[in-house]
Structure 1
């Protein structure tokens, strides 16, 4: 690994944190595998990055979206060429299966391809004027310097779906990734550097709370796009409210798959396993609740539990692994504590429930895929995000009760229904209090050209991805020209 990738990237140069402090990054699948020491930045580092972005803004904005898109297209080619290398880094650093990491790289390439294609569409409209000899129209302007604060669960795709539209819009950016996945973010920045993005347009500040707080507090930052927890997102929003900081917040989820009494149970089981245990449940759209009609609950569990119990937990680079480790010991302990709490509330563990331990498995953050039944709909496990491989099965007495239970949480990221009834399918889509809706398919995943968005406490501000994302990175203006 190149030493410079362990540093910050400010104004086109790889630089140490001002304090000289570093943070060790280890492989969650094997604690003996130390990836490296990465910069631990503070307010001085963040402010320098913001200054660099502000200095680069006028020229980048003047370049225009079509020429800016050429840099995104070049970055897409470079990313595709390095797909295997970057996927391996994602697996080593974040823990996910190599197949999942390769899928994430493909998703990032798709985001770049879609975003670059928006360059010729990033305009306004002409409008009738009320006065004679007047031409009226609307147009967009970039909002300025933006801070991009990203999580560890998709260390390439989520930064990409912020960086790409920010740069195409004409904004300049400071990326502050999770301290758990610093190398993947450095590789992303390096791709844009090699694609010819001018110095100062995209800057990288590694670190944790101090760097993030400085980004929110800096008056030179016009907007913050954040993906992460509800608590941190709320703090960002309130922290910048006094200066009317623009925020785009994609927050948590407590997503339900509703299994109706007429559902194709085999298909529903396939989707629940994919949604609940793919990436060890560490997705904002993960299936953490199966809300199952009591008339088919036993048949559903008879199909589900043996398959979950047979899932092999192991390192992401082991082809035999079907479930990866969670990202660190904090997430491991939180998942196990959630299972213990659910049992106190009356839930019964049908499989899993503890750490995965077996001969030959490295010491790491392994949690057994866990299914609990008889989970009360209003208990903590059924209401709060776990972000681990833990599925709560909640009984529902019919379709209306299932939708009531699904909508009972404060979050609204994803909603899914399995039914053979066309009427129920459309009614569920209408009544789910969620941003991304699915029928008879897994409740995770989204397309680069569709809004990645939530409802209620899962989302604040414009969606990610899709043409609607530009409503965050640009501001609308109108002009009336007399002639």
Structure 2
């Protein structure tokens, strides 16, 4: 995996490379990618800056057509993308196919917005005067993306950046360079050429250099709160525009009148789908004591039914976590939870035997978790589910809102009034009732609250508030 600078694929100037291994079979090297530094980033930003005037002049309709053609190419290569995602990131092949399908939908929606990317005409105070507003691209943007959605998140940043008229430098996670390169190939083949979209592989050094480049007007980042805060702080002296989608410690609130089978199905999907590696994954269950035992019995039975395995195995129900580092974080999180008084009723350890060569964490259910304990407050980012007891609706809301994050939440109840009251009072950006508490539709804002989000939402009309700025004009005639 080489960098793309302008229209040239090239190695890192230092000659350094890094290996990426299949998390299901650590002996298998999936790719080798450039390990870039500030010099590579500088060249990529210069290429993007040089391409900016002509790309702006093309106009949003033609830019949208290019993104639409790229979406068609992604659709045509669906299976290639899905297999790449599974081998590189570890998620089940059916989950990877779902990510490809969602990516196509996101790109098509964004491309169509090119015909709506306008302003407004306004009344003028003076006669024979036309007053209007319009959107203007902010310039060169840096796109820093994570490994958990190695196709969808780069696409939902690159597509609106390009339609808006920005040029971009994409720096994907060093754990998932291959999928990002395939996406860039499609955008390049569709017409985003000549430095409009550049690709720089690498880790922290490349990311910090991208944030520091004076010609970069904005950085869109998805990842941890700590890195997001560092990006915003580093860019603040020069008023760098930032769009930060960060962590989550998402809860499912299960009230006493809930359909427990429906709730258990949804919670297991939210907690163990993609091995729990989603910013919107369900990692806490806040349940009324009156139905706690019945819900836990259902959750453990469903966890027992999950068969861990290589994502390419059609019989697998749970893939690996992405790396040894993430696996250690899961195991350490469970140990700390037990030390804090929680009990492990299922899982809690690395899976061995035939899966010993991969990063497989057993689907884990913890009970007797205190609401203020580490495992209830901080991201584990793996298939680890904490069950926290509550005494009714008000106490449940208190527990749900007791964390610094606010990405997503779900409530399970048969009482419509309680459901609507919960939607009004839960401090989270994406809310669900009687369904898995993950994600949203392509045309809806992907957005968090509190420390989960800073800046405009993604995947919606609100995204233009990041990639564009308002201009006004008054024309006398």
Q: Structure 1-normalised TM-score?
A: 0.98
> 1:3 maps to which residue?
none
1:84 & 1:35 partners in 2: Cα distance?
Answer: 16
> 1:350 maps to which residue?
345
- How big is each residue's C-alpha offset from its partner over 1:255-276, in whole Å with a ceiling of 9 and x where there is no partner? 0000000001000000000000
Shift of 1:379: 0.5
Matches within 5 A, 1:355-394: 355-358=350-353, 360-361=354-355, 363-394=357-388
> 1:49 maps to which residue?
44
> 2:458 maps to which residue?
464
2:322 & 2:197 partners in 1: Cα distance?
Answer: 27
Between the two proteins, the alignment pairs up a number of residues equal to: 477
Matches within 5 A, 1:93-112: 93-112=88-107
Matched, 1:447 2:416: no
Contact residue 257 and residue 417 of structure 1 kept, 8 A: yes
Shift of 1:195: 1.0
1:217 & 1:153 partners in 2: Cα distance?
Answer: 25
Shift of 1:310: 2.4
Contact residue 349 and residue 362 of structure 2 kept, 8 A: yes
2:20 & 2:259 partners in 1: Cα distance?
Answer: 44
1:204 & 1:198 partners in 2: Cα distance?
Answer: 12
Matched, 1:71 2:66: yes
Shift of 1:199: 1.4
> 2:128 maps to which residue?
133
Matched, 1:427 2:428: no
Matches within 5 A, 1:107-118: 107-118=102-113
1:361 & 1:229 partners in 2: Cα distance?
Answer: 29
2:253 pairs with one of 258, 264, 273: 258
Contact residue 260 and residue 418 of structure 1 kept, 8 A: yes
1:302 & 1:104 partners in 2: Cα distance?
Answer: 31
Contact residue 410 and residue 456 of structure 1 kept, 8 A: yes
2:238 & 2:265 partners in 1: Cα distance?
Answer: 48
- How big is each residue's C-alpha offset from its partner over 1:439-472, in whole Å with a ceiling of 9 and x where there is no partner? 0110012111000000000000000101110110
> 1:23 maps to which residue?
18
- 4+ residue runs of structure 1 moved beyond 3 angstroms? none
Shift of 1:309: 2.0
Matches within 5 A, 1:216-255: 216-255=211-250
2:266 & 2:56 partners in 1: Cα distance?
Answer: 44
1:85 pairs with one of 80, 83, 90: 80
2:394 pairs with one of 396, 400, 409: 400
1:14 pairs with one of 9, 31, 34: 9
> 2:114 maps to which residue?
119
1:415 pairs with one of 405, 409, 423: 409
Contact residue 289 and residue 391 of structure 1 kept, 8 A: yes
1:438 pairs with one of 416, 424, 432: 432
- How big is each residue's C-alpha offset from its partner over 1:39-92, in whole Å with a ceiling of 9 and x where there is no partner? 000000000000000000000000001111111111011111100011000000
Q: Give the 3-state SS of the residue equivalent to 1:119 in structure 2.
A: helix
Shift of 1:482: 2.1
Contact residue 146 and residue 221 of structure 1 kept, 8 A: yes
Contact residue 29 and residue 362 of structure 1 kept, 8 A: no
Shift of 1:37: 1.6
1:291 pairs with one of 277, 286, 289: 286
Q: Give the 3-state SS of the residue equivalent to 1:296 in structure 2.
A: helix
1:422 & 1:310 partners in 2: Cα distance?
Answer: 32
- How big is each residue's C-alpha offset from its partner over 1:236-282, in whole Å with a ceiling of 9 and x where there is no partner? 00000000000000000000000000001000000000000001100
> 1:162 maps to which residue?
157
Matched, 1:280 2:275: yes
Matched, 1:183 2:178: yes
1:415 & 1:70 partners in 2: Cα distance?
Answer: 36
2:130 & 2:301 partners in 1: Cα distance?
Answer: 68
Contact residue 344 and residue 365 of structure 2 kept, 8 A: yes
- How big is each residue's C-alpha offset from its partner over 1:383-402, in whole Å with a ceiling of 9 and x where there is no partner? 00110000000001000100
Contact residue 333 and residue 380 of structure 2 kept, 8 A: yes
